[in-house]
A = this chain, B = another copy of it.
């Protein structure tokens, strides 16, 4: 066992195996995570709420109870727009400072029922939507953003502070931080994992996802949601990969181009059949449609804060309530209709000539500064299409920061997509050991 000396360096799957066979306790694992956090929190600032004594007590309880499910004792970070029974949920907003709801969000309840240990709440863009940014920094270079809005979850998993964490995505809030922090992430098909108890910003777009440091860990969590069972063997040799530069290609940067080219070349070297895939013309309108929908649906989502806390609601969120961009009902209906008509067309692309799509996760590496979380332009279309995405690390870019790529499947093919990701990840991601070396240097 490579990392047996430091449980914090283990993947969730490795740790689960040791816990299940009695070779490691839940307490040992969580103490290792807490030690890592203690040594790194000043630099990374991933956590909004952490009660070390309480989580150690809970780990001891889990050790006494014995295995409750396949996630027994595995620590999860939870983006602070997602409710947890034991911690406050502030949404990184002064409006909800210290608020404890005493009830788990659906996604949290499911993993807790499978034995997971909720470690703490991670920093986030306010409401996962606008207003305040997280204070979190990129674990590879504190001058850079970790991405967002799932800033703390992405950085905490990337920095080996916790093996698993929840994020949410409305535009590119989940898959982009996976790219910037050198980790794996899944955004499942819309509706397959309940988003109840995660702050609502857009009914049509909001999706809960999770991060891990390998595909096996994404699958392990997916099993709890009953969306990860696919026993059909996947061979990279002969795998039909559609290379989709996407309608956002004009925004690509050197790091993103390098990541996509690297992943494609490695897949071809391993025997995959990689061919460029150009989506039908109507898909070019989806990025703007996503913008129309997220703004229009935000009007009702943020009306409660607009009504009760106008003075401390961020101007960009007030603007949604006021429909500052002036969307008409006709424009909104057209945006919905475009997405509605593209979804089945997209699904129909898959078949004998296409197994999976490979596309950028972000324009490039994480940009400098904490005033931005980067550009979601490569993620927004997929979110609107409701299709599953898996983010996989591909390479270090020119600035020495990690960059990832995204695998995309059709709706409800999550289990198949994860099985494909498990097969191609060792081919694409050849620099995991180097990531670990840099972060523990």
A interface residue numbers (CB < 8 A to B):
96, 99-104, 106, 109-110, 112-114, 190-196, 199-200, 203-204, 224-226, 296-297, 299-301, 303-304, 307-308, 329, 332-333, 336-337, 340-341, 343-344, 347, 411-413
Compute how far the CA of A112 lies from the CA of B309 in the bound complex, rounded to whole angstroms. Answer: 12
Contact of A101 among B101, B203, B332 (CB under 8 A): B101
Whether B304 lies near A412 (C-beta < 8 A) is no
Identify the closest chain B residue to A85 (Cβ).
B99
Whether B104 lies near A300 (C-beta < 8 A) is no
Nearest first, the 3 closest Cβ-Cβ pairs linking A and B are A113-B307, A109-B304, A340-B340
Whether A191 lies near B303 (C-beta < 8 A) is no
The distance from the CB of A169 to the nearest CB of chain B, in whole angstroms, is 15
Compute how far the CA of A196 lies from the CA of B102 in the bound complex, rounded to whole angstroms. Answer: 16
Compute how far the CA of A112 lies from the CA of B329 in the bound complex, rounded to whole angstroms. Answer: 27
Given contacts A333-B347, A344-B333, contact A307 B102 (CB under 8 A): no
Compute how far the CA of A355 lies from the CA of B194 in the bound complex, rounded to whole angstroms. Answer: 38
Identify the closest chain B residue to A309 (Cβ).
B113
In this complex, which of A113, A190, A196, A203 has the most chain B Cβ atoms within 10 angstroms of its Cβ? A196
- Sample 16 A-B pairs with CB under 8 A, ordered by A number: A96-B103, A106-B200, A106-B301, A109-B307, A110-B303, A190-B203, A191-B297, A192-B300, A196-B301, A224-B307, A225-B300, A333-B344, A333-B411, A333-B412, A337-B343, A340-B340
Compute how far the CA of A411 lies from the CA of B340 in the bound complex, rounded to whole angstroms. Answer: 16
Q: How many copies does the complex hold?
A: 2
The distance from the CB of A193 to the nearest CB of chain B, in whole angstroms, is 6
A412 partner residues in chain B, CB cutoff 8 A: 329, 332-333
The distance from the CB of A118 to the nearest CB of chain B, in whole angstroms, is 14
A307 partner residues in chain B, CB cutoff 8 A: 109-110, 113-114, 224
A195 partner residues in chain B, CB cutoff 8 A: 200, 203
Compute how far the CA of A370 lies from the CA of B300 in the bound complex, rounded to whole angstroms. Answer: 36
A225 partner residues in chain B, CB cutoff 8 A: 300, 303
Compute how far the CA of A32 lies from the CA of B288 in the bound complex, rounded to whole angstroms. Answer: 53
The distance from the CB of A112 to the nearest CB of chain B, in whole angstroms, is 7
A104 partner residues in chain B, CB cutoff 8 A: 304
Whether B411 lies near A301 (C-beta < 8 A) is no
Whether A303 lies near B106 (C-beta < 8 A) is yes
The distance from the CB of A291 to the nearest CB of chain B, in whole angstroms, is 16
A340 partner residues in chain B, CB cutoff 8 A: 336-337, 340-341, 343
A203 partner residues in chain B, CB cutoff 8 A: 190-191, 195, 203
Compute how far the CA of A161 lies from the CA of B177 in the bound complex, rounded to whole angstroms. Answer: 52
Contact of A112 among B200, B224, B301, B308 (CB under 8 A): B308
The distance from the CB of A435 to the nearest CB of chain B, in whole angstroms, is 33
Whether A103 lies near B106 (C-beta < 8 A) is no
A343 partner residues in chain B, CB cutoff 8 A: 333, 336-337, 340
The distance from the CB of A201 to the nearest CB of chain B, in whole angstroms, is 9
A100 partner residues in chain B, CB cutoff 8 A: 102
A329 partner residues in chain B, CB cutoff 8 A: 411-413
Compute how far the CA of A420 lies from the CA of B125 in the bound complex, rounded to whole angstroms. Answer: 43
Whether A194 lies near B303 (C-beta < 8 A) is yes
Whether A193 lies near B300 (C-beta < 8 A) is yes
Compute how far the CA of A434 lies from the CA of B296 in the bound complex, rounded to whole angstroms. Answer: 43
Compute how far the CA of A303 lies from the CA of B110 in the bound complex, rounded to whole angstroms. Answer: 7
Given contacts A332-B412, A333-B412, A340-B341, contact A106 B194 (CB under 8 A): no
The distance from the CB of A65 to the nearest CB of chain B, in whole angstroms, is 14
Identify the closest chain B residue to A344 (Cβ).
B337
Identify the closest chain B residue to A83 (Cβ).
B101
The distance from the CB of A274 to the nearest CB of chain B, in whole angstroms, is 27
Given contacts A332-B412, A333-B347, A340-B341, contact A304 B113 (CB under 8 A): yes
